[in-house]
């Protein structure tokens, strides 16, 4: 048989993938229907406090992005395209010349608390906003953040002409074109759940100028060549799912029957699935189902569970925390050998969102429920993994009840997919197998969109099928 010509074509794409605690630039090389990843640059990320508020170091992030792309340029020349994804909801306000007119706040900043409570108090407003946007009332929503900015500084509406979410902003810095991307727009609580446009109801409710937003563009849109870096002058800037979770979901090597539940596991645990329709109504609102969107316009109803943020916080408070791989393995073994905790954490408790000390917050949460805090780091690790497993299982049960669907497997990608304790705890609590892939899901989904836009891969189904053929996975079967 003569191989198809396309299978001999080698294509290099660069993924800029920013998470709240680390960022990376990864080159994806597509050859013979196989994707190979090379991490060319990784850097820590953290929000920083100034006075009473928390901010992102946006110039620092841009510096790291440029450093990563420069490192990639020569070894992978020519790089056909570059795409950017970041965590959700955060944004910058700009004028027509592209200058920032307001500092970029981090979503864990407490400035949204008053707005959060106000909306929570009015059943009618809550239902109205949920019916309009399909997004529940959560402290980090861009809607609450923007509303706070406009209410505190009404003059900002005169200064700013544009709101760009972080992937949009980096796309702009790379290409010179300002566009709002669709999946990141769907994290804001400002997008219309029944169309691909902005929700006039939500914009009015939160007092936001419509002129700040333009109709969102879908994944695959080409923004033009890179103008920011001479080293990448021939490289296309391609719009990918700008929301890291949307990118991670795209990378799931899911069975075509649609019966897999997805878990993107990192700082947050995002449990959800793909759907042609949103999941709405009072039960969905109560279960905090966020009807975020897929790059192609469809839906990915999900719930956001606190994730390894709990462990990241606790680790900081143990100076003897493991640094090397063997130490990490020893800690995991010690945690696995412990008896199951008597009481698990309620992962929906808002006290964990940004406490000054995570260990103190966990201890107080346990004591208030009559339980004794763990003695050592292994104890916390065990408690956190089991609590996340239970949180994931609860999300599965709620989705099954609301949709009448039955999920056969949990597919896990992201940094947390390597955590055996959490994967096993999820399988045990949910009663279905957990299949974990050692996969940089967000970067892979980012690259998949670029390959499809470039015509190197037919569509997402073809990409997933190719990925499933080459990926290594570990299956955790329920033990009870
Ligand atoms: C994960 C993520 C989640 C979003 C949270 C805040 O990185 O993007 O999907 O809810 O960060 O933006």
pLDDT tens for 410-425 read 999 999 999 999 999 9
Query: What's residue 6's pLDDT?
Result: 46
Query: What's residue 256's pLDDT?
Result: 85
What torsion, rounded to 10 degrees, do the Cα atoms 63, 69, 72, 74 define? -100
How many angstroms separate the CA atoms of 335 and 319, rounded?
Answer: 18
How many angstroms separate the CA atoms of 67 and 24, rounded?
Answer: 10
Q: Tokens 């900081």, residue?
A: 316
Query: What's residue 2's pLDDT?
Result: 42
Mean pLDDT of 444-469: 96
Residue 120: pLDDT band (50, 70, 90) is very high
How many angstroms separate the CA atoms of 419 and 225, rounded?
Answer: 39
How many angstroms separate the CA atoms of 360 and 386, rounded?
Answer: 19
Largest CA distance in the chain: 69
Residue nearest to atom 6 of ligand 1 (CA): 88
How many angstroms separate the CA atoms of 235 and 227, rounded?
Answer: 9
Residue 241: pLDDT band (50, 70, 90) is very high
Distance 20 CA to ligand 1 centre (A): 8
pLDDT tens for 358-367 read 999 999 999 9
Q: Spell out a b/e string for 129-144, using b for 16 or more CB atoms within 10 Å of the CB, else e.
A: bbebbbbbbbbbbbbb
pLDDT tens for 12-36 read 999 999 999 999 999 999 999 999 9
pLDDT tens for 49-69 read 999 999 999 999 999 999 999
In whole angstroms, how far apart are CA 293 and each of 17, 194, 254, 304, 424?
A: 18, 11, 17, 14, 29
Mutate to test the pocket of ligand 1, among 138, 143, 302, 304 (most ligand atoms within 8 A of CB): 304
- State which ligand 1 atom lies nearest to the alpha carbon of 89: 12
- State which ligand 1 atom lies nearest to the alpha carbon of 140: 6
Distance 268 CA to ligand 1 centre (A): 7
- Closest listed residue to residue 476, CA positions, set 381, 393, 397: 393
pLDDT tens for 290-301 read 999 999 899 999
How many angstroms separate the CA atoms of 379 and 205, rounded?
Answer: 45
Residue nearest to atom 8 of ligand 1 (CA): 87
Percent of the chain with pLDDT over 90: 95
Task: Name the strand (E) or helix (H) holding 154.
Answer: none
Distance 338 CA to ligand 1 centre (A): 31
Distance 88 CA to ligand 1 centre (A): 5
Catalytic residue selected from 17, 109, 168, 244: 244
Distance 244 CA to ligand 1 centre (A): 7
- State which ligand 1 atom lies nearest to the alpha carbon of 20: 7
Distance 94 CA to ligand 1 centre (A): 23
Mutate to test the pocket of ligand 1, among 187, 306, 415 (most ligand atoms within 8 A of CB): 187
pLDDT tens for 4-13 read 444 458 999 9
Query: What's residue 1's pLDDT?
Result: 40
Q: In the structure encoding, which two tokens stand for residue 71, read together?
A: 């490192």
Residue nearest to atom 5 of ligand 1 (CA): 88
- State which ligand 1 atom lies nearest to the alpha carbon of 243: 8
Residue nearest to atom 4 of ligand 1 (CA): 88
pLDDT tens for 167-203 read 999 999 999 999 999 999 999 999 999 999 999 999 9
- State which ligand 1 atom lies nearest to the alpha carbon of 90: 12
- Decide if pLDDT at 43 tops 90: yes
Mean pLDDT of 256-275: 95
DSSP 308: T
Strands 290-293 and 299-305: antiparallel
Reported as half-sphere exposure (CB side, CA atoms, 13 A), residue 289 has a value of: 33
Judge whether 386 counts as a catalytic residue.
no
Q: In the structure encoding, which two tokens stand for residue 157, read together?
A: 């509406």
Residue nearest to atom 9 of ligand 1 (CA): 245
Distance 480 CA to ligand 1 centre (A): 31
Percent of the chain with pLDDT over 70: 98
- State which ligand 1 atom lies nearest to the alpha carbon of 270: 9
For ligand 1, residues with CB inside 6 Å are 19-20, 87-89, 107, 140, 243-245, 267-268, 270, 304
Residue nearest to atom 11 of ligand 1 (CA): 87
Residue 124: pLDDT band (50, 70, 90) is very high
């Amino acid at each position: 048989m003569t191989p198809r010509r396309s299978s001999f074509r080698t294509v290099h794409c660069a993924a800029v993938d920013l998470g709240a605690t680390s960022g990376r630039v990864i080159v994806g090389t597509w050859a013979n229907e196989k994707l190979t990843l090379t991490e060319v640059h990784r850097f820590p990320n953290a929000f920083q406090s100034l006075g009473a508020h928390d901010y992102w170091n946006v110039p620092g992030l841009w510096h790291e992005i440029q450093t990563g792309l420069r490192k990639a340029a020569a070894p992978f020349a020519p790089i056909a395209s570059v795409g950017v994804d970041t965590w959700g909801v955060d944004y910058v306000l700009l004028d027509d010349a592209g200058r920032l007119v307001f500092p970029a706040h981090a979503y864990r900043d407490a400035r949204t608390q008053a707005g959060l409570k106000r909306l929570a108090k009015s059943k009618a407003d809550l239902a109205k906003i949920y019916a309009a946007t399909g997004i529940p009332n959560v402290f980090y929503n861009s809607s609450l953040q923007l509303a706070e900015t406009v209410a505190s500084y009404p003059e900002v509406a005169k200064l700013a002409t544009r709101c760009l979410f972080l992937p949009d902003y980096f796309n702009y810095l790379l290409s010179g074109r300002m566009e709002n991307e669709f999946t990141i727009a769907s994290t804001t609580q400002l997008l219309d759940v029944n169309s691909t446009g902005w929700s006039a109801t939500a914009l009015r409710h939160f007092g936001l100028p419509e002129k700040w937003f333009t109709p969102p563009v879908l994944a695959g849109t080409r923004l033009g060549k890179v103008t920011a870096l001479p080293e990448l002058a021939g490289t296309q800037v391609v719009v990918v799912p700008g929301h890291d979770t949307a990118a991670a979901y795209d990378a799931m090597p899911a069975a075509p029957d649609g019966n897999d539940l997805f878990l993107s596991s990192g700082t947050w645990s995002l449990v959800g699935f793909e759907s042609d329709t949103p999941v709405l109504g009072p039960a969905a609102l109560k279960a905090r189902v966020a009807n975020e969107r897929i790059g192609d316009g469809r839906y990915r109803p999900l719930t956001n569970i606190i994730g390894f943020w709990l462990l990241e916080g606790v680790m900081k408070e143990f100076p003897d925390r493991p640094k090397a791989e063997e130490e990490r393995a020893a800690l995991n073994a010690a945690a696995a050998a412990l008896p199951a905790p008597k009481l698990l954490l309620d992962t929906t408790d808002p006290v964990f969102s940004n406490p000054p000390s995570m260990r103190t917050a966990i201890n107080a949460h346990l004591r208030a429920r009559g339980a004794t805090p763990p003695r050592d780091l292994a104890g916390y690790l065990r408690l956190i993994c089991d609590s996340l497993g239970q949180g994931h299982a609860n999300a599965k049960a709620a989705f099954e009840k609301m949709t009448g669907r039955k999920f056969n497997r949990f597919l896990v990608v992201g940094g947390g997919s390597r955590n055996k304790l959490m994967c096993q705890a999820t399988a045990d609590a949910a009663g279905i197998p957990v299949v974990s892939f050692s996969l940089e899901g967000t970067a892979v989904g980012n690259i998949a969109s670029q390959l499809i836009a470039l015509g190197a891969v037919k569509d997402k189904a073809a990409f997933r099928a190719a990925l499933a053929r080459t990926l290594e996975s570990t299956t955790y079967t329920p033990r009870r």
